[in-house]
Chain A
Amino acid sequence: MAARTIKIAPITRIEGHATIAIHLDDAGNVADSKVHFQSIRGFEKFVEGKPAEELPRIVNRICGICPWHHHLASNKAVDRCFGVTPTPAGHKLRELVQTIAQAEDKLLHFFFLAAADFVIGPDADYAVRNVIGIAKANPELATKVVQMRYKAKMILEKFAGKAIHPVAGVVGGFAKPLTEADRQWMLADMREILDFALFTIEFAKKDVFPKYLDAIQSLGVIKTGFIGTVDDNGALNLYDGKIRLMKPDGAFADFDVQNYADYIGEQVVPWSYGKFPYAKSWNEGFSLDLENPKGIYRANTLARINVADKMATPRAQAELEEFRSLFGRPAQATLLYHYARLIEEVYACEHAIELLKDPSITDTDVRAKVEPRAGRGVGCVEAPRGTLIHDYSTDDNGLVTRANLIVGTTHNLGPINMSVNQAARALIKDGVADEGILNKVEMAVRAYDP
């Protein structure tokens, strides 16, 4: 048998130009594998010389898959450059829209991008492994999912403008106050979405995950550290807080994101234009070796659940306790990203309701006065795909002199490569790699929602 390369491209439900290349040796076993992603490096040069306050409006047109998160991380970075602290109401409104955007994204990912693997099954024909397959298997559920995701999207649009081009966040706060009438209908809508989130996690725990326990415990499993954001009490937070970087053994260090470069390095590898972030502060270098990885940590849902001591809302906390009783802390199995995603969905809905119940959120002082100036600022939020960092420097006129971005999926580039390598080695033997096997390899990638 001659050595050959198997290519999976484009990956069925992953956007962009992601491709997997699996190299087989003469015996038909896996010698090596690589996952290649589109690179966004050009963006940082593009924004140099532009007025910083324009960046929150530019970035969401380019990174429009999660526009709200880029919009707000960018606003936070510019706040810091210009030395302004948003008003309390401005801060709360930003957190509210970001939390609702998280709730919307998780429903979309679980049901449309990931669940097909579970609901239809990984061995099913490609033609039915999509939403039409889901609708045939469970038409009532499919309709409900579309309705709920649309409801979340429309909350954002009706209150804060079109999600794809958000302009509601502004340097120093938020562009407009929340009226009492808006607060009331948004509360009612979020309560409905919370009910659906609770239904979803029960449905998944009862009807979905138990059938895939073997896969969960084996497919794409690697051992890494984790990164996420926590509040002063150590509870998971999606919008603001300190960054927690956890080692594979569970030991962790917390830091202010302004100092991220002391903790996170960016490694260049010869086979990719993308830079691979790694835990510089562990002082062990960078290696994707499956048996002995170095400096490798993961971001996104499972990472946030692992680094948090607790959840700040009651239903999500109950779910986290159940999850930890089954899988421990930190949980390493890659497919548990899906389970963690549903716990975060419950939290996002509960927390949006908490924010809306706070009467001070309708305060009309939504924006602090701000003057452009020279400075440096790092803005960070937890985007659906992981810790999102925008780092800008400005000159005296408030023009950008330098920008560095670390986007959620970038943290996971190394781990995704490791999970694919692990899955390919476990599944492909003697040159046999049928559709079912290749889809299982893709499943290992999809868990990260790249």
Chain B
Amino acid sequence: MCLAIPAKIMAIENDTATVDVDGMVRRADLTLVENARIGDYVIMHAGFAIDVMDERAGLESLALLREAFPVEHDDRPA
């Protein structure tokens, strides 16, 4: 429910980034973080980027998440 999946910044326009979250394209509000650049990874909470990490740290976290959750664990659909 509160997994921190690093999202890769693909593009930035004003304070909004287009990010790739494990293949899904989402929008992230950058108001709360400083110095986020294209290629960085952000941790998102409810549409806001709340933390920035460089590519190395982002990839490390993604690898850990893939190891911990080899199968997509979404809840059952309605």
- Residue numbers of A with Cβ under 8 A of B are 5, 7, 12-19, 21, 23, 34, 36-43, 46, 58, 61-67, 108, 112-113, 130-131, 146, 149-150, 162-165, 271-274, 385, 407, 409-410, 450
Contact = CB atoms under 8 A, between A and B. Distances in A.
Interface string B17-54: 00000000000010110100000000111111011010
| Residue among A61, A149, A273 with most chain B CB within 10 A | A61
Dominant secondary structure of chain A at its interface with chain B: loop
A354 B29 CA distance: 35
Contact of B3 (A16, A46, A273): A16
Contacts of A165: 57
B13 interface: no
Interface in B45-78: 45-48, 50-51, 53, 57, 60-61, 64-65, 67-71, 73-78
A208 to B, nearest CB: 19
Contacts of A36: 75-78
Contacts of A112: 31-32, 46, 48
Dominant secondary structure of chain B at its interface with chain A: loop
B9 to A, nearest CB: 15
Given A62-B4, A108-B50, A149 B32 contact: yes
B68 to A, nearest CB: 4
Interface of B: 1-4, 29, 31-32, 34, 43-48, 50-51, 53, 57, 60-61, 64-65, 67-71, 73-78
B3 A62 contact: yes
B55 to A, nearest CB: 14
A244 to B, nearest CB: 24
A12 B46 CA distance: 7
A65 B43 contact: yes
B64 A62 contact: yes
| Residue among B68, B76, B77 with most chain A CB within 10 A | B68
A13 B46 contact: yes
Contacts of A274: 1, 75
B74 to A, nearest CB: 6
Contact of B76 (A18, A67, A150, A271): A271
Given A113-B46, A149-B32, 11 more contacts: A15-B2, A16-B1, A16-B2, A37-B75, A39-B74, A63-B2, A112-B32, A162-B51, A164-B53, A165-B57, A409-B2
Given A146-B32, A272-B75, A407-B1, A64 B57 contact: no
Contacts of A42: 68-71, 73
A34 B75 CA distance: 11
A66 B73 contact: no
Contacts of B31: 112, 131, 146
Contact of A63 (B4, B47, B60, B70): B4
A61 B45 CA distance: 14
Contacts of B74: 17, 38-39
A36 B74 CA distance: 9
Nearest to B73: A39
A49 to B, nearest CB: 12
A37 to B, nearest CB: 5
| Residue among B50, B57, B69 with most chain A CB within 10 A | B50
A266 to B, nearest CB: 15
Contacts of B47: 12-13, 130
A447 to B, nearest CB: 13
A63 B61 CA distance: 11
A450 B75 CA distance: 15
| Residue among B31, B45, B48, B76 with most chain A CB within 10 A | B45
A346 to B, nearest CB: 22
A350 to B, nearest CB: 24
Given A13-B46, A15-B46, A272-B75, A164 B67 contact: no
